[in-house]
Structure 1
Amino acid sequence: MQLFKTLVLTAGLGFALAASAQWQWVDKDGNKVFSDRAPPSDIPDKNILRRPGGNRPAPPPVAVDAAATPAAPQAKGTDPALEEKKKLAEEAEAAKKKAEEARIAAARAENCTRSRQAKASFDSGLRIARTNAQGEREILDDAARAAETKRLQEIIAADCR
């Protein structure tokens, strides 16, 4: 008998918990509606009386006149530490850019020197031999010498300014 009373009490509490997970709102005709599902989207928030968990809807925000509230004080000046960091970052970036330009200029000067030396060799009239992809040595003919001389002249024109 004691077990039966405990089961009935547990079932009753279970039904009470299920009932507390209900929505309650006032429909467009003014009738209170209870449901386990959310109200339709055409029901305004002000007509929702209860949500599951007993949370009431938040009150609508009150419009505040912007002229009536004082504006937040504007920070005058700047943060010196931030300005110093910004300045150091800009200087580091400028130094990095200058170093890159110096590296490119040195590479161009090296290309210019090598191209002029190679062109001098081609202009001397000596036979020029190269190693092909198979590792065999081949002598350049007049067409290949002319093409290589033209390529070297383009490199000189681009890098020797």
Structure 2
Amino acid sequence: MVAAGFALGVCTSAQAQWKWRDTNNRVQYSDLPPPSTVPESAILQRPVGARRSGPQFTPAAPSAPAAAEAASGPARTSDPELEAKRKKAEQDQAAARKAEEDKINAAKAENCTRAKSYLKAIDEGQRMARTNANGEREVYDDKIRAEESKRTRDIIASDCK
């Protein structure tokens, strides 16, 4: 008898259901509360223990002069510190940007040097070969030389400024 009463109590809590009318006036059932867009008057049933959303208490804001005084008081004492931190952060960001630009410029300079060397080898007619997708070796013919020469000239135009 006690076990049956306990099981009944567990089952009813597991069946906690919300019931409300949606914007299309259809009754909705869920074990989750309705969306916040559903007005309080549209909620038809709540699970036991679910609280109604009543008026929320918000503490009164301090008067304007007191708030201004409180805000400006600590700001004045820490203003030089904040200003120094802000300047240091700006300098760090500028240094990071400069380092990144230097790194990019160094890579472009190296690409430029390699491209010029490769173009010189192509234009001089040195025997060159590449491996195709099948793993076979292809010797550069005039068509491949022209394609490689054009591609290399484009790289030189973009990286060598």
Q: TM-score, normalised by structure 2?
A: 0.54
1:19-73 deviations in whole A, cap 9, x for unaligned? xxxxxxxxxxxxxxxxxxxxxx8xxxxxxxxxxxxxxx9xxxxxxxx9xx74633
The aligned residue for residue 22 of structure 1 is: none
AA aligned to 1:108 is K
Which residues of 2 match residues 146-161 of structure 1 at below 5 A?
146-161=146-161
Residue 134 (structure 1) shift: 2.4
The aligned residue for residue 106 of structure 2 is: 106
Q: Percent identity?
A: 54
Structure with the greater alpha carbon radius of gyration? 1
SS at match of 2:130: strand
Residue 136 (structure 1) shift: 1.6
1:140 to 2:135 alignment: no
Moved over 2 A (4+): 69-78
AA aligned to 1:137 is R
SS at match of 1:126: coil
What is the total number of aligned residue pairs between the two structures?
A: 102
1:66-89 deviations in whole A, cap 9, x for unaligned? 9xx746336275611111111111
SS at match of 2:82: helix
Query: Structure 2 CA distance, aligned partners of 1:131 and 1:121?
Result: 18
What stretches of structure 1 of length at least 5 have no aligned partner? 1-40, 42-56, 58-65
Query: Structure 2 CA distance, aligned partners of 1:148 and 1:93?
Result: 40
Which residues of 2 match residues 3-22 of structure 1 at below 5 A?
none
Q: What is the CA RMSD across the aligned residues, in angstroms?
A: 3.2
Q: 88-97 vs 133-142, which deviates more?
A: 133-142
What stretches of structure 2 of length at least 5 have no aligned partner? 1-40, 42-54, 56-62
The aligned residue for residue 36 of structure 2 is: none
1:105-153 deviations in whole A, cap 9, x for unaligned? 0000000000000000000012211112222211122111101100100
The aligned residue for residue 81 of structure 1 is: 81
